[in-house]
Amino acid sequence: MVRYIEFNSKLKSILDEEEVRLNVKMKDCTSFKVGGPADIFVMPNTYEKVREVINVCKVNKVPYFILGKGSNLLVKDGGIRGVVINLSKLDEIKVEEDKVIAQSGAVLSKVTEAALETSLTGLEFANGIPGSVGGAVTMNAGAYNGEISQVIESALVVDNKGEIRRLSKEELELSYRMSAILKYEYVVLEATFKLLKGDYSTIKARMDDLMRRRREKQPLEYPSAGSTFKRPEGYFAGKLIEDSGLKGTRVGGAEVSVKHSGFIINKESASAKEILDLIKLVQATVKEKFNVELSTEVRIIGEEETE
C-alpha cells in the first residue's frame, strides 16, 4: 500500500473524500460472498469522474477493475491489487417515449420495473437477473430466450483512449456473453433500450411468471454468481454436470446445487479457493465423461491468498 500513498492523493483530487475507501473486503461486494480486500475502492458519481479515475490509473500504471453489482464475479481470497471502480452510484433510470435510458450502476430489476410502469415490452426476460446495466451490456446478459442485444439501441462508454463516446448497437458487437466492451476494454456508463408499447397486465404476467420459474428452478436462497458455466455448443451445462453424477458434490463450503446443477453455490462459508477447486473438478469430470470443455461464465479475478 505504500506505493499508493501518492496515487491516493491524486484520486482525492478527483473524488470527494467519501468516494475513496481502502482495504474494502470484496466478499461484501459480490453475490458469491467471497473474496479478499481491494487495495483502493472508489465510487465516482459522475461520468466525468469515472473517465478521470480511469485516465489517472492508466497514467500512473495502476491496475483497475470495473465493478457493478458483483453478481457474475468470483474474487480470489487474496483480493484485488490496485483500484476497484464501483459504479453503483450511477443508478438513474428515465423513460422517454419508447426508450428506457439507464445508467450503468442501475439494477436490472429496477429497469424492468420502469419499463412495466410505462407499459413498455421487451425487457421482461431481464426481470430477476441480479446484475447491473453495465454488467448486462458488457456480457450481453440473457435468459429465457431473451438477451440485451435484442433491445439495446446504444451505449455511452469510456473507450480505451479515455474518451467518452456513444456506441451504436452494431458497434457494441454483441454476441453470446461477449461484446466490444470486453474485447476493447471499454467501460459502460449508460445504455439506451428501445422497446415496444405493450399491455401492462400482459407484461406483468410475463415478468411474474419468469420470476416464479427462477425461484422454482434456481438456488436463489444461497450466495452464487448465477450460472457458473457458459452453455457449450450443442449441450446444456447443467445437464452435463448432472449426468456426470456431480449434483450435490462439495468441496468445503462450496456445492454443486442440488436444485440446479449449473449453479455452484456458497453453501456454508466457502472460500474462493474452495469454489475454484469445485469449478476445476466439474470441468475435469465433464471433460473425462463427455469430452466437452466447460468454460466459466462467471468472471474470475484477483490473487491467491498467500500464507
Residues 305/76, Cβ–Cβ less than 8 Å: yes
Residue 11 counted as domain residue: yes
144 confidence band (pLDDT: 50, 70, 90): confident
The share of the chain scoring above pLDDT 90, in percent, equals 90
Q: Give the end of a domain, one of 86, 103, 132.
A: 86
Does residue 5 carry a pLDDT above 80? no
Does residue 284 carry a pLDDT above 60? yes
Instruction: Locate 305 and state its grid cell.
Output: 491468498
- 134 and 183: one domain? yes
286 confidence band (pLDDT: 50, 70, 90): very high
Rounded to the nearest integer, the mean pLDDT of the chain is: 95
- 196 and 246: one domain? no
- 121 and 212: one domain? yes
4 confidence band (pLDDT: 50, 70, 90): confident
Residue 274 counted as domain residue: yes
pTM value > 0.85: yes
- 80 and 127: one domain? no
Residue 232 counted as domain residue: no
Classified as helix, coil or strand, 231 is coil
Domain of residue 105: give its range.
93-217
- Reported residue count of the chain is 307
Q: Tens of pLDDT along 152-174?
A: 999 999 999 999 999 999 999 99
Looking at residue 32, its amino acid is: F
Does residue 3 carry a pLDDT above 80? no
Does residue 265 carry a pLDDT above 60? yes
Q: Give the end of a domain, one of 86, 107, 130.
A: 86
**CA dihedral in degrees (15, 45, 129, 64; nearest 10)?**
-30
88 is catalytic: no
Give me the pLDDT at residue 145, please.
Answer: 87
Give me the pLDDT at residue 99, please.
Answer: 98
Which residues are CB-neighbours of 306 under 8 A, at least 6 positions away? Answer: 78
Q: What is the CATH number of the domain that holds 184?
A: 3.30.465.10
Distance of CA 13 to CAs 2, 110, 141, Å?
Answer: 18, 33, 35
Q: What is the CATH number of the domain that holds 246?
A: 3.90.78.10
Q: What is the DSSP letter of 39?
A: E
Give me the pLDDT at residue 307, please.
Answer: 59
Distance of CA 64 to CAs 82, 140, 210, 232, 260, Å?
Answer: 6, 22, 36, 30, 34
Residue 73 counted as domain residue: yes
- 50 and 140: one domain? no
The share of the chain scoring above pLDDT 70, in percent, equals 99
Active-site option among 177, 190, 257, 261 = 177
- 67 and 167: one domain? no
Give me the pLDDT at residue 162, please.
Answer: 93
Q: Tens of pLDDT along 232-263?
A: 999 999 999 999 999 999 999 999 999 999 99
305 confidence band (pLDDT: 50, 70, 90): confident
- 176 and 200: one domain? yes
Burial of 307 (0-12, 13-18, 19+ CB in 10 A): exposed
- 33 and 111: one domain? no
227 is catalytic: yes
How many domains does the chain fold into?
A: 3
Residue 307 counted as domain residue: no
Give me the pLDDT at residue 177, please.
Answer: 85
Active-site option among 31, 71, 179, 227 = 227
Q: 284 or 2: whose pLDDT is higher? A: 284
Give me the pLDDT at residue 130, please.
Answer: 85
- Average pLDDT on 74-99 reads 97
Residue 231 counted as domain residue: no
Residue 242 counted as domain residue: yes
179 is catalytic: no
Does residue 2 carry a pLDDT above 80? no
Q: Tens of pLDDT along 183-199?
A: 999 999 999 999 999 99
- Chain centre distance of CA 19: 21
128 confidence band (pLDDT: 50, 70, 90): confident
Q: What is the CATH number of the domain that holds 62?
A: 3.30.43.10
